[in-house]
Chain A
Amino acid sequence: MSKQFQFKSVSEMPMISVSLGDMEWNKTGAWRTQRPFYEDKTPPCSAACPAGNDIVAFIQKIAKGDFEGAWNIIKEENPFPGVCGRVCFHPCESKCNRGSFDEPIAIHALERFVAGFGSRLSKNTGKSGEKRKEKVAIIGSGPAGMSCAYHLARLHHDVTVFESLPLAGGMLRMGIPSYRLPREVLDRELSGIEALGVKIQTGVALGEDVRLEDLKNYRAIFISTGAHRSRGLQIPGEKEKGILGGLDLLKRMNLGKRMKLGDKIAIIGGGNTAIDVARSVIRLGKKATILYRRSREEMPAFAEEITEALEEGVKIRYLVNPIRLQQKDGLKRLECLRMELGEQDESGRRKPVPIPNSNLRIDVDHVIVAAGEEIEASFLPEGLEKKEGIVLTRRDASTGIKGVFAGGDLTSTQRTVAHAIGSGKKAAMAIDAFLEGKDTEEAIVQHLVGEGPSLSIFRYLHPGERPRNPHIVPFEELNMDYFELAKRQEESKRRVKERIRDFNEVTSTLTEDAVLEEAGRCFGCGTCNECENCYVFCPDVSILKSGGILSHQVDYDYCKGCGICFTECPRGAISLKEEAK
């Protein structure tokens, strides 16, 4: 459209130097020595999410008030937002770049809100009548098994889950008290998976009711039987009657079995199970004392859980270690040694060292041992390789037996809900690739979030739709000019007096206003949210708005490569490279 003029004769020219045309013909892009381009980079939160949630994407939907959109994004990767929003230890938040500015985004609280919103949406997924491709068996209905089942069902496979207990949910149901995870939330998310056509057979135990050989008509099997066995203390008197494992106690309570418990209860251990047990028995009106051999700093339980436990009256004795257990007149006597902290051990924590002759005795009604869990290997099929307490799998979740995959707590020492969910998703992708005759390892590697191990099944399902640069955006690549200090929204908690009276949920969901505010705090690292800075600040009118996923484009005909868009992008979604000459 731009016309260039060439006057051969003075008579062709106008009387005065009035403009006759524009400068569009002058392609100033030729001046450029560096080239800006949009890139969908990886935010640190997503890279840190073991479940592979597309966190920035769903928060941006929330920020626009599109809660259903947020729900759909979360559900792409994770069938358990209600669970994760409550019980996940949210490593995403500790990696959140906003933490270097003021406080990290309350990602878990946003996820929890969206889950609540999603639960009110119509459940008609309409997938149950669909023709299925291949039959897949899943052993264990915990978060790993159910995540695997969910994704396989979405990949149109015919999935059956076998669960030894009478109720599905695995550790989610047996290990987590309902004041942290209300059962209706869990049930809702499990039935959401069932609604996709997943069949769950409860009361069927591997090795007892069903053996691997019986599952020949399944083209693939995923074993996710977890780690349920309480690890002992290896001290004299431990095997006596009345000494309970922490997880066993929780399981009994969660199955609704009545128990007789004395008044004073000692819990040994410093992990989440110890805290869960202590807080549960407090709710039964008992006195709970946790004995831990290191100090609070080294406790593996989540800091917030410890705080809540202390608020609720749980006592914690640090730097004590039981060395002997005796029974006397119906009472249990724990003989302990005081400890002090020495050198760092391989876990990075300071090692407890006994102080000689510092023996002390503690008399209680019950002792609960919650010093960690280990896998139950007795019923596992032969041919699974095991090492240091876990079943070994390859990068694609496969085992030594063809068609048999494994995941969850069974195969990892990182025993969290999110890791289990991620592990189930990985197995689903690998199984799908396996059944499709594709390279399973490649299927995993191609869909890592950042450098992994988190995975994006969205990209597995929609290849090419949203290519992402694995580069994880560090804080230094963001432009803090565009962000104001803003307080993190915290979920409110019930008053201590009230919450120790029952097993109802302690924290409540954020309000819609708070959620919008919190979502507005998100930097959106590496992801264009159409803030328009690049467009507004371009001196050369060279930012085109196209409306795709990368909604803006650079008009290279005119872009002079000044780099303003690169600098002024608040979230590092624009990169700059040397122009090839």
Chain B
Amino acid sequence: MKRVITGNQAVAYGVILSRVDVISAYPITPQTTIVEELSELIASGRLKTKFLKVESEHSAMAALIGASTGGVRTFTATSSHGLAYMHEMLHWASGARLPIVLVNVNRALGAPWNIWGDQSDSLSQRDTGWIQLYCENNQEVLDTIVQAYLIAETVRLPVMVVLDAFVLSHTAEAVEIPSIEEVDSILPPFCPDYPIDTQEPRAYSVITTPDYFLEFRYKVQKAMEQVPEVAKKVDDEFKARFGRGYGAIERYGKEGAKVLLMTSGTVTSTSRTVIKKLVEKGLSVAGIKIKRFRPFPSEEICEAIQGAKKIAVIDRNLSAGVGGIFAQELRASLYSREERPPVFGFVSGLGGRDITPELIEEAIQYTMEHPQPEGDIVWLGLKR
């Protein structure tokens, strides 16, 4: 069934199709229509899910930690300050190895107040032990939620599914919505490792001394290291079933291109048209879409960039004092390789400003013209 729906509605469909047991959420722009949609679905009886309408994002995540410990499938959605407010509990969720799925609608963090798209919120959480998957369109949003549960419940780590504010969250697109039975056929019910059982009482998250803490964190890392393989298998099965797959990254444009452009989220869609145009013009350019940010797909990227002389990265985020976060991660990935093309770190579109085809073209132009970037950050569209 195909429907024209917004990104936030796609989220709601993903939740329905994944047979989520417990939702706990707190409203924040631009996530609000997700909780509204879910409330409507529950009120109308179409969704048999318990929805805890808690008083804060911190409590939302805490409640899911409780519920997931209780052995059921859980979901929340948030954005920006909400995600930041959850921060402490994000660590807890991954440390407790709870397969919670969270949708974050990317939005800038104040001050000053700003409600528009910016990846600083989700990227600030990169060290919390969560898998992070970025989406380019509403179809991918829906599909990624289903995949997220499959990955999370296999490796026992929480997953954050990320979509852009307004450009996806509030923009309607045609989305193929699979039937719940079809989804059931690939997503089995959640089967917890240590479900709460008062017949066999135990204590969870018991304080752990330096003697063993390192080992528990080692296990988290090992789980993260499983993700590429697990995610690939999930994606392959999904593709076999539904005809749609996404990979950890996607390379498009000219084969063997000398200049590559790396993006994530909706900027990728704009980049696709720009690169298509430039390739048609005869330029040796190609694009790389990063879908999975955590664990960072270093292997996949290094394979995809073979032969490239320069890589441009457009970051809609800023780690002040360093630069764009995707660019940083890329540089780190390249360091151990023999081939280390220069990375041009463009920062643009913060706080929801459009990253227009012109700006993207300007970035590619700059990359082609300069042997090296003039600094760690190249500001794109800055009013000088």
Tell me the A residues contacting B by CB distance below 8 Å: 7, 10, 13-20
In the complex, the answer to whether B203 meets A13 with C-beta atoms within 8 Å is: no
Residues in chain A near residue B193, CB distance under 8 A? 15-16
| CA A137 to CA B220, docked complex, whole Å | 94
In the complex, the answer to whether B194 meets A13 with C-beta atoms within 8 Å is: no
Residues in chain B near residue A15, CB distance under 8 A? 97, 156, 193, 219
In the complex, the answer to whether A10 meets B215 with C-beta atoms within 8 Å is: yes
Partner of A13, one of B204, B207, B215: B215
Q: Mark B215-226, 1 if CB is under 8 A from A, else 0.
A: 110110000000
In the complex, the answer to whether B194 meets A16 with C-beta atoms within 8 Å is: yes
Residue B241 interfacial (CB < 8 Å): no
Q: B225 → chain A, closest Cβ, in Å?
A: 14
In the complex, the answer to whether B208 meets A17 with C-beta atoms within 8 Å is: yes
Q: B117 → chain A, closest Cβ, in Å?
A: 36
| CA A10 to CA B194, docked complex, whole Å | 18
Residue B206 interfacial (CB < 8 Å): yes
Residues in chain B near residue A13, CB distance under 8 A? 212, 215-216, 219
Q: In chain B, residues 265-303, which have Cβ atoms closer than 8 Å to a Cβ of chain A?
A: none
Looking at chain B, what size class is its interface with the partner chain?
A: 10 to 19
A16-B97, A17-B206, A18-B202 known; A7-B212 Cβ under 8 A = yes
Residue B304 interfacial (CB < 8 Å): no
Q: Mark B49-73, 1 if CB is under 8 A from A, else 0.
A: 0000000000000000000000000
| CA A312 to CA B234, docked complex, whole Å | 108
| CA A17 to CA B212, docked complex, whole Å | 9
Residues in chain A near residue B123, CB distance under 8 A? none
In the complex, the answer to whether A18 meets B206 with C-beta atoms within 8 Å is: yes
Nearest B residue to A9 via CB reads B215
Interface centre among B193, B207, B215 (most CB of A within 10 A): B215
| CA A299 to CA B143, docked complex, whole Å | 107
Residues in chain B near residue A20, CB distance under 8 A? 202
| CA A17 to CA B206, docked complex, whole Å | 6
| CA A374 to CA B212, docked complex, whole Å | 89
**29 pairs from A and B in contact (CB 8 Å cutoff):** A7-B212, A7-B215, A10-B215, A10-B218, A10-B219, A13-B216, A13-B219, A15-B97, A15-B156, A15-B193, A15-B219, A16-B96, A16-B193, A16-B204, A16-B216, A17-B204, A17-B205, A17-B206, A17-B207, A17-B208, A17-B212, A17-B216, A18-B202, A18-B203, A18-B204, A18-B206, A19-B202, A19-B203, A19-B206
| CA A19 to CA B193, docked complex, whole Å | 14
| CA A19 to CA B203, docked complex, whole Å | 5
| CA A14 to CA B204, docked complex, whole Å | 12
Nearest A residue to B98 via CB reads A16
Q: B97 → chain A, closest Cβ, in Å?
A: 5
| CA A301 to CA B273, docked complex, whole Å | 123
| CA A15 to CA B204, docked complex, whole Å | 11
| CA A562 to CA B204, docked complex, whole Å | 30
Residues in chain A near residue B97, CB distance under 8 A? 15-16
Residues in chain A near residue B219, CB distance under 8 A? 10, 13, 15
Q: A12 → chain B, closest Cβ, in Å?
A: 9
Q: B287 → chain A, closest Cβ, in Å?
A: 38
Nearest A residue to B220 via CB reads A15
- Give me the 5 closest cross-chain CB pairs, A-B, nearest first: A19-B203, A10-B215, A17-B206, A17-B208, A19-B202
Residues in chain A near residue B203, CB distance under 8 A? 18-19
Q: A3 → chain B, closest Cβ, in Å?
A: 14
| CA A14 to CA B218, docked complex, whole Å | 12
| CA A15 to CA B212, docked complex, whole Å | 12
Residues in chain A near residue B202, CB distance under 8 A? 18-20
Nearest B residue to A5 via CB reads B212
20 extra interface residue pairs, beta carbon distance < 8 Å, beyond A16-B216, A17-B206, A18-B202: A7-B215, A10-B219, A13-B212, A13-B215, A13-B216, A15-B156, A15-B193, A15-B219, A16-B96, A16-B97, A16-B193, A16-B194, A16-B204, A16-B205, A17-B207, A17-B208, A17-B216, A18-B194, A19-B203, A20-B202
Residues in chain A near residue B218, CB distance under 8 A? 10
| CA A13 to CA B212, docked complex, whole Å | 9
| CA A13 to CA B194, docked complex, whole Å | 14
| CA A16 to CA B204, docked complex, whole Å | 8
Residues in chain B near residue A7, CB distance under 8 A? 212, 215
Residues in chain B near residue A16, CB distance under 8 A? 96-97, 193-194, 204-205, 216
| CA A17 to CA B98, docked complex, whole Å | 12
| CA A3 to CA B174, docked complex, whole Å | 60
| CA A14 to CA B206, docked complex, whole Å | 12
Nearest B residue to A16 via CB reads B97
Nearest A residue to B203 via CB reads A19
Q: A478 → chain B, closest Cβ, in Å?
A: 41
Residues in chain A near residue B215, CB distance under 8 A? 7, 10, 13
| CA A14 to CA B208, docked complex, whole Å | 13
| CA A17 to CA B203, docked complex, whole Å | 8
Residues in chain A near residue B216, CB distance under 8 A? 13, 16-17
| CA A7 to CA B218, docked complex, whole Å | 14
Q: B98 → chain A, closest Cβ, in Å?
A: 9
Q: In chain B, residues 211-258, which have Cβ atoms closer than 8 Å to a Cβ of chain A?
A: 212, 215-216, 218-219
Residues in chain A near residue B206, CB distance under 8 A? 17-19
Nearest B residue to A20 via CB reads B202
Q: B192 → chain A, closest Cβ, in Å?
A: 11
| CA A307 to CA B208, docked complex, whole Å | 77
